[in-house]
Chain A
Amino acid sequence: MNILKGYEEQLSGIFSDWIKVQDFKNPLTLDNFSKNGVPAEMVKPHCAVCTTVNQCWFKNEENKKPKEMDYDSYSKFNRKQKGLYHPYCHCQKRGLNPPKEEDIKIVLDKNKENYFFNSKGNWFYSWGYKDKDKNDFIKTLKEKIIKAYVRGNYINGKYDFEEQKKYGFRINIFVTIDGVNENKGHFYDMKSGFIVYPNGRLKNTTPLIRREK
């Protein structure tokens, strides 16, 4: 029965819309190492890069989850040695019920929020918003970001091993800002940069960036 359960769980990671990356042998996640990133020597025998995505949730689609190892050019590894992200990797994709909006927590730094209004105030006003709308704008933006994420409306951000070890796995979530007042009926395509933390937490790095058409 246990063997069957193991296969069932592995299959769920292949066919589910959402996955949770899980290394059952590694109790450590990005949360344990936020102070200095994930130092390789401290997580041995586990992989530092894999530790940054341990317990994290991803849409099970290309470019919306960490890239899996392509073994086509590496015939020397047998089936058991072929780990998910690198040879001997312990990580597994486990099927996850699609996250609900209430499962997601957005972490947006207040200083970054103020910086956005100071440095990109011209955008904000050009969309028809006034100073008094700032709080509502942020509240609505967070709601839009959560909705977009649970719909899988995002792509992987810049991928760099060394930076991922320090900060975690980055994604860009797509949002559309609604123009208001004199700009009602206009829509502005933007993206918002995040680091994926375990179990549905998303830490904002860049509130809004223009989205290339």
Chain B
Amino acid sequence: MRIKYLDKVRVLKDNENYKKSNVFAGDVGVVWLPEIRDNTFYVMFENGEQDFDKLDCVETCIKIEDLELVEDYGLTNEQIAESLPSDELWWCVVEDGFIKNIKGEKKNKIPFDYDS
């Protein structure tokens, strides 16, 4: 499983912080900024249908361990690099339990332990 910018993701767990934003387990959103900060992705959730008159959205930080991939948007590493705030060393991809930059360097040492 690889999660990155603009992929569609599902929230797996409830959390008090998510609740404040009206986001709950099972909600599906989009990774809305390319960079991973403090082991979180910034995710946008749309309320309502894909209908102009009903749609509104909320944006909040979700821990990467609380996310699963729903749909790959298909951005390449080069495209992600264009959207990163400064350089290619930013953490921006979650793959097989590791937080990585687009050069493939890993942030955590133990898979799925994102603070290791």
Residues of A within 8 A of B (CB): 34-37, 109-112, 115, 119, 122-123, 126, 158, 160, 162-163, 166-167, 188, 193, 205-206, 209-210, 212
A34-B85 contact, Cβ under 8 Å, with A167-B33, A205-B32, A206-B57: yes
Q: Which of A115, A119, A210 has the most C-beta atoms of chain B within 10 angstroms of its own C-beta?
A: A210
How many angstroms between the C-alpha atoms of A43 and B111 in the bound complex? Answer: 31
How many angstroms between the C-alpha atoms of A160 and B61 in the bound complex? Answer: 11
Q: Give the contacts of B74-92 with A (CB-CB under 8 A).
A: 75, 79-80, 82-83, 85-86, 90
Q: Which one, B37, B56, B75, B79, contacts A166 given CB within 8 A? A: B37
Check B1 for interface membership: any CB of A closer than 8 A: no
How many angstroms between the C-alpha atoms of A166 and B17 in the bound complex? Answer: 15
A36-B83 contact, Cβ under 8 Å, with A158-B58, A163-B60, A206-B59: no
Number of A-B residue pairs at CB separation under 8 A? 69
Contact assessment for B57 and A34 in the assembled complex, using a CB-CB cutoff below 8 Å: no
Contact assessment for A115 and B59 in the assembled complex, using a CB-CB cutoff below 8 Å: no
List chain B residues, Cβ under 8 A from A112: 6, 83
List chain B residues, Cβ under 8 A from A35: 85-86, 90
How many angstroms between the C-alpha atoms of A37 and B44 in the bound complex? Answer: 18
Contact assessment for A210 and B56 in the assembled complex, using a CB-CB cutoff below 8 Å: yes
List chain B residues, Cβ under 8 A from A166: 37-38, 40, 42, 61
5 A-B pairs, CB-CB below 8 angstroms? A37-B38, A115-B6, A160-B21, A205-B33, A210-B52
How many angstroms between the C-alpha atoms of A193 and B32 in the bound complex? Answer: 12
Q: Which one, A160, A162, A210, contacts B55 given CB within 8 A? A: A210
List chain B residues, Cβ under 8 A from A158: 21, 58-60
Q: Which one, B20, B53, B60, B83, contacts A110 given CB within 8 A? A: B83
How many angstroms between the C-alpha atoms of A175 and B33 in the bound complex? Answer: 22
Check B98 for interface membership: any CB of A closer than 8 A: no
Q: Which residue of B lies closest to A123 (CB)?
A: B52
Query: Chain A's nearest CB lies how many Å from the CB of B100?
Result: 16
How many angstroms between the C-alpha atoms of A34 and B33 in the bound complex? Answer: 12
How many angstroms between the C-alpha atoms of A188 and B90 in the bound complex? Answer: 37
- Cβ-closest 7 pairs across A and B: A34-B85, A166-B37, A210-B55, A109-B83, A111-B83, A123-B52, A37-B37
Contact assessment for A110 and B37 in the assembled complex, using a CB-CB cutoff below 8 Å: no
List chain B residues, Cβ under 8 A from A212: 56
Q: Which one, B5, B40, B61, B86, contacts A34 given CB within 8 A? A: B86
Q: Which one, A36, A111, A167, A205, contacts B75 given CB within 8 A? A: A111
How many angstroms between the C-alpha atoms of A36 and B35 in the bound complex? Answer: 9
Query: Chain A's nearest CB lies how many Å from the CB of B96?
Result: 23
Encode contact with A along B25-45: 1 for CB under 8 Å, 0 otherwise.
Answer: 000001011100110101010
Q: Which one, A34, A162, A205, contacts B59 given CB within 8 A? A: A205
List chain A residues, Cβ under 8 A from B79: 111
How many angstroms between the C-alpha atoms of A193 and B44 in the bound complex? Answer: 11
Q: Which one, A36, A167, A209, contacts B57 given CB within 8 A? A: A209
